[in-house]
Amino acid sequence: MRKVNIIMNGVTGRMGYRQHLVRSILAIREQGGLPLPGGEVLYPEPVLVGRNAAKLEALCAQHNLSQYTTDLDAALADEANEIYFDSQVTTARVAALTKAIEAGKHIYTEKPVAESLDDALGLAKLAEAKGVRHGVVADKLYLPGLRKLKRLVDSGFFGRILTVRIDFGYWVFEGDWQPAQRPSWNYRSEDGGGMILDMFPHWRYVLDHVIAPVRSVYAQSVTHIPARWDEQGAEYAATADDAAYAVLELEGGIVAQINSSWATRVDRTELVTFHVDGTHGSAVAGLRGCRIQHRNATPKPVWNPDLPTSHDFRGLWTEVPDNDVYDNGFKVQWEEYLTAVATGAPYAHDLFAGARGVQLAELGTQSAREGRKLEVPAL
């Protein structure tokens, strides 16, 4: 059994606690560790870091952990700690990652890795120069729905892919008459909030990996709800975009339309759907499910508003079977990353991939500001 100490910064937050600490690192411990290719077992030892000692102490007590500190510098100075993980608010990330890389730690981090492409590339280059392993969360790729979609793409099911339509979003309460279900900083641009900065990094790796590389972007961003109420019930100005409507071109002339909104009411089977149309078939993937319609099963509707619709369009789709066991996506990616650290193997979802996500967010924001389509140059 080989123990590996992981500094985990931001575990009092939504993502850090639920997905990274509980569902990933603690789950790996509960299964007895992570078996490595050579037969050795890696056992993660979290070192919780945050600003509030009482909260960290409570987390340790709740989960039978022993190591926590509010002193990040001391944790980084400790040679026993090999990996630094960051799920802090976005604005705090670059400074912390920079320190951790300079201290020689391997890096694993939530997205977006930075608020600007310059900062994101700076981190990636620094990590390369220091020779540390670096990884960035790309959780959507591990969703059962997207794994099924990728399987369809790889099998040639679609023929020539024509378009992708991503429909993401749900109503996030304003906070006055019902508390908001997302932290308030997400709605203030000065605090790292905004739909484009939050979601375009996800759309970048999803499109690049599952469909085709992104070549250009046109985006229109909006703040539909200009005032919201925070965790203390105080009204604040929502300065960040809460919706973005984008058209992207992918390699091969594929057109992607992406609606991302926190001001929409769901009339879909899932909180996000990916609709892909190809010459030979179409698919609609969600978080877990994926439905397909082959060209041979495509109905032939005729436009006639005088008559009620005669087709049950939804009923003509076929559910793709699981054919696999899907573990929590965050955990699966942690296991891949930890294996790469332990074996020294290259890791694909690295800080350069993270920088490509920030690049799309930056260009999307610029496109919205200038009202024009922008090329997405290779990095």
- Tell the smallest beta-carbon distance from residue 5 to ligand NAD (Å): 19
Interface with ligand NAD, residue 16, by CB under 6 A: yes
Report the alpha-carbon distance of residue 202 to residue 349 in Å, rounded. 12
Task: Give the number of C-alpha atoms closer than 13 A to the C-alpha of residue 2, restricted to the C-beta side.
Answer: 15
Report the alpha-carbon distance of residue 81 to residue 345 in Å, rounded. 20
Q: Pick from 196, 198, 166: which is nearest to 182 by CA? A: 198
Of residues 136 and 248, the one with the C-beta less far from ligand NAD: 136
Of residues 8 and 320, the one with the C-beta less far from ligand NAD: 8
Of residues 113 and 161, the one with the C-beta less far from ligand NAD: 113
Interface with ligand NAD, residue 139, by CB under 6 A: yes
User: Is 133 in contact with 340 (CB distance < 8 Å)?
Assistant: yes
Of residues 198 and 208, the one with the C-beta less far from ligand NAD: 198
Interface with ligand NAD, residue 50, by CB under 6 A: yes
Q: Pick from 249, 239, 190, 264: which is nearest to 219 by CA? A: 249
Choice from 26, 27, 92, 263 touching ligand NAD (CB under 6 A)? 92
Interface with ligand NAD, residue 241, by CB under 6 A: no
Choice from 24, 67, 87, 223 touching ligand NAD (CB under 6 A)? 87
Give how far the C-alpha of residue 258 lies from the chain's centroid of Cα atoms, to the nearest Å.
15
User: Is 47 in contact with 70 (CB distance < 8 Å)?
Assistant: no
Interface with ligand NAD, residue 137, by CB under 6 A: yes
Of residues 92 and 162, the one with the C-beta less far from ligand NAD: 92
- Tell the smallest beta-carbon distance from residue 210 to ligand NAD (Å): 16
Interface with ligand NAD, residue 332, by CB under 6 A: no
- Tell the smallest beta-carbon distance from residue 201 to ligand NAD (Å): 8
Interface with ligand NAD, residue 88, by CB under 6 A: yes
Q: Which long-range contacts (CB under 8 A, 24 or more apart) does 126-133 make?
A: 126/98, 126/101, 126/102, 127/101, 127/350, 127/351, 130/101, 130/102, 130/104, 132/101, 132/104, 132/105, 132/106, 132/107, 133/106, 133/107, 133/337, 133/340, 133/341, 133/344, 133/347
The footprint of ligand NAD on this chain (CB under 6 A) covers a number of residues equal to: 19
- Tell the smallest beta-carbon distance from residue 320 to ligand NAD (Å): 23
**Span near ligand NAD by CB under 6 A; candidates 8-16, 39-47, 288-296, 343-351:** 8-16
- Count the residues in the chain: 379
Q: What would the DSSP string read from start to end of 34-90?
A: EE-TTS-EEEEEEEEE-S-HHHHHHHHHHHT---EES-HHHHHH-TTEEEEEE-S-G
Interface with ligand NAD, residue 198, by CB under 6 A: yes
**Span near ligand NAD by CB under 6 A; candidates 5-13, 66-74, 75-83, 213-221:** 5-13
Q: Pick from 40, 44, 39: which is nearest to 24 by CA? A: 44
Of residues 4 and 141, the one with the C-beta less far from ligand NAD: 141
Choice from 89, 225, 247, 332 touching ligand NAD (CB under 6 A)? 89
Interface contacts to ligand NAD, rule CB under 6 A: 10, 12-16, 50-51, 87-90, 92, 110-111, 137, 139, 183, 198
